[in-house]
């Protein structure tokens, strides 16, 4: 049961987004720029960072949705996403991505956990300042979304097929209009 009255049957972050469209809009716009805008990190890599941070925050809904978006971008490679969540250092991602995921994991614990050694490692593996910046902001943003979703005790479906479906839709259509179909001001 969600802690406040949210429209029923709307999963995860979509419930509070339907409840509060004014805040949903900038959150979706930030997700669009950060995860899908022009970038040297592919959408699959950026979604993997989002899924990993969500998994570290134990946010089942976000970890499942963004894991599914990442897998869709990566040609349906769900195994890789599972590996990243379990132990990214032993996964099949590039050394640069491992260094960026390490930074993201530190940001998830709190910004001050990031060390200059973490940054040096990422640079040494070829990460640019823009890539380091975006990694920190993705990790920070998802720590926000994870707390938003779980702080209100939203409902999260258990069926992996549902996440696969919404992962595919978000990968193809993006975030800006992803909540247009929700009932307006459902919480009022």
Q: How far is the CB of 34 from other proteins (least distance, A)?
A: 11
Q: Which is nearer to other proteins, 132 or 170 (CB)?
A: 132
Nearer to other proteins, 81 or 103 (CB): 103
CB of 72 or CB of 121, closer to other proteins = 121
Alpha-carbon distance of 31 to 27, in angstroms, equals 6
Name which of 111 and 160 has its Cβ closer to other proteins: 111
Q: Is 127 or 136 the residue whose CB approaches other proteins more closely?
A: 136
State in angstroms the smallest separation of the CB of 103 from other proteins: 8
Distances (CA, A) of 124 to 104, 111, 120, 140: 17, 21, 6, 23
Token pair listed for 166 = 């919404």
Radius of gyration of the CA atoms of the chain, in A: 16
**Chain centroid, CA 131 distance in Å:** 16
Helix (H) or strand (E) holding 132: helix 129-151
For residues 85 and 186, give the distance between their C-alpha atoms in angstroms, rounded to a whole number.
34
User: Least distance (Å) from other proteins to the CB of residue 57?
Assistant: 11
* Least gap, CB of 110 to other proteins (angstroms): 7
Q: Which residues bind other proteins (CB under 8 A)?
A: 103, 106-108, 110-112, 114, 116, 132-133, 136-137, 139-141, 143-144
Separation CA 19–CA 35 (nearest Å): 24
- Write down the least CB distance from residue 54 to other proteins, Å: 13
């Amino acid at each position: 049961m969600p802690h406040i009255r949210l429209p029923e049957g709307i999963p995860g972050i979509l419930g509070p987004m339907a409840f509060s469209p004014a805040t949903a809009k900038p959150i979706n716009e930030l997700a669009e720029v950060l995860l899908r805008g022009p970038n040297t990190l592919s959408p699959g890599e950026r979604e993997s960072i989002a899924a990993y941070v969500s998994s570290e925050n134990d946010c089942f809904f976000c970890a499942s949705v963004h894991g599914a978006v990442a897998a869709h971008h990566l040609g349906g490679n769900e195994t890789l996403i599972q590996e990243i969540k379990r132990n990214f250092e032993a996964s099949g991602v590039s050394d640069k991505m491992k260094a960026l995921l390490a930074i993201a994991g530190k940001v998830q614990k709190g910004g001050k956990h990031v060390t200059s050694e973490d940054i040096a490692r990422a640079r040494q593996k070829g990460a640019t300042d823009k890539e380091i910046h975006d990694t920190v902001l993705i990790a920070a943003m998802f720590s926000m979304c994870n707390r938003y979703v779980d702080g209100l005790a939203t409902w999260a479906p258990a069926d992996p097929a549902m996440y696969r479906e919404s992962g595919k839709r978000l990968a193809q259509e993006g975030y800006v209009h992803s909540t247009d179909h929700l009932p307006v001001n459902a919480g009022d």
